[in-house]
A and B are shown apart, each in its own frame.
Chain A
Amino acid sequence: MNLKTLTTATVAASMALGAGIASADLTFPSLSYRTGPYAPNGIPFADGYADYFTLINERDGGIGGEMINLVECETGYNTEKGVECYESTKGQGSLVYQPLSTGITYQLIPKATADGIPVHSMGYGRTSAANGKVFSNIFNYPGNYWDAASIIVKHILDQEGGDLSGKSLALVYHNSAYGKEPIRTLEELAKKHGYSLTLLAVDHPGQEQKSQWLQIRRERPDYVMMWGWGVMNQVAIQEAVNIRYPMDHFIGVWWSASENDVIPAGEGANGYKAINFHGVGDGFPIYDDIRKYVVDAGKAAGDGSNLGTVLYNRGMYAAMLAVEAARTAQEIHGVSAINPAQMRDGMEALKIDQARMAELGLPDFGPDINVTCANHGGPGEGAIQQWDAASQSWSLITDFVGSDREVIDPLIAEDSAAFAAENNITPRDC
């Protein structure tokens, strides 16, 4: 083979490859963590995320005729590895990133914005990213940490007949940016409702919490809230059981709300509550299709044992929202092979009502979604779920309710304005 032939062959191969990429599938990266200390939580989410995309490929032939290409990258819940995953996959036409870590999200906010790729930090990440005027490429619908804090306080208000004056609340939180997120909101709500707030930080990983729970035992707060993750959740629930804290007065955020968190504590965890932004269990029609087209066909990401668990449902919900946003983008731009900028437009125009949820096989699974240019945080609604140790299952004990916008909106405006000033961002006019 002479040089000319070799050059021709190389150019031909490059063109073929280029053509391949041009007509390629819709690429959705999955920044997962199936290894390391947080794997028990990372695996069901990643499985749910992957299985929904597989379902769309197998049942519907992709989105608008375009097959989905899921690119999974292992982060180990490590921020540096997460950024590496982003850098190594963004060139593959990645449409949207679901970083699945507040630390990784904070790193990706400036990078993804500069690259024009949307990030969906669903129920985590920077709360004030809900302000779409400042955070053009970051979305955190259907709810954020401040919504969660407010809805938990609303639930406590309901339990206490609408009056919290003189009551004491404690927050046991992971001593990190994530764990500290709700503090400001809870302090503002304390001013409004007249409760006292005790803050109890727990250092990573949270295997030792004796001091915090001895303090709770001494001070006997009326309610304890938790912003934990990983082993911190299991230890906290076990310690609460040990000191015989009433479990129906112990309420976790949605990342302290999985089966993994309560099962190790056994019967003692009965009655533990947590907020959630989606339905629980596998009693939804979509599961018939997931079993038929994915699990029974041997195409599931896991062994099928996680179906219906809280974190599997969350991963599936995240994928569903991504698929619906991609459909919206295809409709807006009139093309099926959308790019990341078009995907961003689709996310910003995403509207899902209960009729559509029912069509998707997920009736009453979550609140209506209505994302706009100004509101990237969605409805900000959540429901309270409670653990039944005997049946080893969660059930929603409230409807989906909204947060206290009177308190949350000014906080979002203040924090996002500070971010805009620090980064010389001129808020969009919308």
Chain B
Amino acid sequence: MSPVVLNTIEVILNGLMTGVMYSLVALGFVLIFKASGIFNYAQGVLALFAALTLVGFQTGQVPFAHVINATFGTDYHHWGEGMNTVLAILLTMAVMVLLAWLVERLVLRHLVNQEPIILFMATIGLAFFLEGLGDLMWGANIKVLDVGLPSGGSFWWEDVTRTWAAEGTEYWGMYIDVLDVWAAGIAVVLVVVLTLFSQYTETGRALRAVADDHQAALTVGISLRTIWVVVWSIAGFVALVAGIMWGAKSGVQFSLSLIALKALPVLILGGFTSIPGAIVGGLIIGVGEKLFEFAIGPMIGGATENWFAYVLALFFLMFRPQGLFGERIIERV
């Protein structure tokens, strides 16, 4: 094969991998929107908060150390060497469940039957609050996140693909980041687990019932409040996974919350209510933006990915306003 073809395949492969990373963020939005009709503006901040908490536990950081030290004149920063990664992940998950419970108790419970825009505004407030809380708890410095996942280009894949090039051509082999491959595998497992959970568990069936019809679910005795706690907990778990994957790439820092911007075109394209839509949407956006940047970008000054993702999503909207997998909204007069 010619290097041009191989380079194009490389771009598509990396686009798919990047798309999976976008999907990980988009999944959290879909779960909450599907179950409660809330567009959770705070999903990106949830990912940041989860990653900050995980690193905090891993490294043995004392939460609110700055506040404690400033108030009491102490000098506490760490309570020890930290803890093992698995335990830290489990504890972080516990914190995310507690957070979900608090969100339901302190925010959502008081906004039942309010317009969606009110709930949306509440999540904007929640995003700012969580960002500030994360800063107070764990500090604003950049933290290194290491959960033991390998990263960097795969030598094996480079060697294999180098032989695909036509003889006499200068080709370095195809690049793929091992961390991205892990992220793709984890995303697949996540989707399978979420699907099994929603299909074969009582809580999962209750979730689907609430997603289908709140009123009908209430009439058969499903507690909307419990379901909201469950959904926000699951979204917190998805946020933790997204936070780990993105945090492993760039360190855990406050710009991590901006990854939500990359999930929006995925949601527009895939639909706000479909888990497969979040995955497929992510893959299309990932491949689309990478191919466009590869083929057209250099002619128009580059940096096309941010806006092209939205253009691509809008193009799909012209034909499928509800998104590729979204539910068609039919309102009868």
Measured in the bound complex, the distance between the Cα atoms of B303 and A55 in whole Å is 45
Q: A36-B254, A210-B290, A214-B10 are in contact. Are A201 and B302 (CB under 8 A)?
A: yes
| A61 CB-CB contact with B under 8 Å | no
A217 touching B172, Cβ below 8 Å:
yes
* Cβ contact of A40, chosen from B11, B140, B259, B289, cutoff 8 A: B140
Q: Would you list which residues of chain B between 133 and 154 have a CB under 8 Å from chain A?
A: 135, 140-142, 144, 151-153
Q: Which of A13-21, A117-125, A237-245, A314-322 lies at the interface? A: A237-245
Number of A-B contacts (CB under 8 A): 109
* Cβ contact of A217, chosen from B135, B175, B302, B306, cutoff 8 A: B175
Measured in the bound complex, the distance between the Cα atoms of B305 and A263 in whole Å is 27
Q: Which of A85-93, A228-236, A373-381 lies at the interface? A: A228-236
Main secondary structure of the interface of B (DSSP, over half): helix
Interface centre among A207, A235, A260 (most CB of B within 10 A): A207
Residues of chain A contacted by B10 (CB below 8 angstroms): 214
Q: Which of B100-108, B293-301, B325-333 lies at the interface? A: B293-301
Residues of chain B contacted by A220 (CB below 8 angstroms): 172
A207 touching B144, Cβ below 8 Å:
no
Q: How far is the CB of B317 from chain A (nearest CB, A)?
A: 22
A242 touching B153, Cβ below 8 Å:
yes
Residues of chain A contacted by B262 (CB below 8 angstroms): 207-208
Q: How large is the interface on A (under 10, 10 to 19, 20 to 34, 35 or more residues)?
A: 35 or more
Q: Which of B213-221, B243-251, B265-273 lies at the interface? A: B243-251
Q: How far is the CB of A33 from chain B (nearest CB, A)?
A: 10
Interface size on B, residues (CB 8 A): 44
Q: A203-B305, A230-B255 are in contact. Are A211 and B297 (CB under 8 A)?
A: yes
* Cβ contact of A207, chosen from B77, B246, B290, cutoff 8 A: B246
| A200 CB-CB contact with B under 8 Å | yes
| B85 CB-CB contact with A under 8 Å | no
A201 touching B301, Cβ below 8 Å:
yes
B255 touching A241, Cβ below 8 Å:
no
* Cβ contact of A37, chosen from B253, B289, B294, cutoff 8 A: B253
| B69 CB-CB contact with A under 8 Å | yes
| A327 CB-CB contact with B under 8 Å | no
B142 touching A214, Cβ below 8 Å:
no
B152 touching A241, Cβ below 8 Å:
yes
| B322 CB-CB contact with A under 8 Å | no
A34 touching B69, Cβ below 8 Å:
no
| A196 CB-CB contact with B under 8 Å | no
A264 touching B142, Cβ below 8 Å:
yes
A303 touching B69, Cβ below 8 Å:
yes
Q: A40-B142, A210-B14, A243-B153 are in contact. Are A175 and B303 (CB under 8 A)?
A: yes
Q: A43-B141, A243-B175 are in contact. Are A218 and B250 (CB under 8 A)?
A: no
A-B pairs with the 9 shortest C-beta distances?
A264-B251, A37-B255, A201-B303, A39-B140, A231-B255, A211-B293, A175-B303, A201-B302, A203-B306
Interface on A for B, CB 8 Å cutoff?
34-40, 43, 175, 199-205, 207-208, 210-212, 214-215, 217-218, 220, 230-231, 234-235, 238, 241-244, 260, 263-264, 266, 268, 298, 303
Q: List 10 A-B contacts (CB under 8 A).
A: A35-B135, A175-B303, A208-B305, A210-B14, A214-B175, A234-B142, A234-B250, A235-B250, A242-B151, A303-B66
Apart from A35-B132, A40-B254, A201-B303, what 20 extra A-B contacts exist at CB < 8 Å? A40-B142, A40-B253, A199-B301, A201-B302, A204-B306, A207-B259, A207-B262, A208-B262, A211-B11, A214-B10, A214-B14, A214-B294, A231-B250, A234-B142, A235-B249, A238-B250, A243-B175, A264-B144, A303-B66, A303-B77
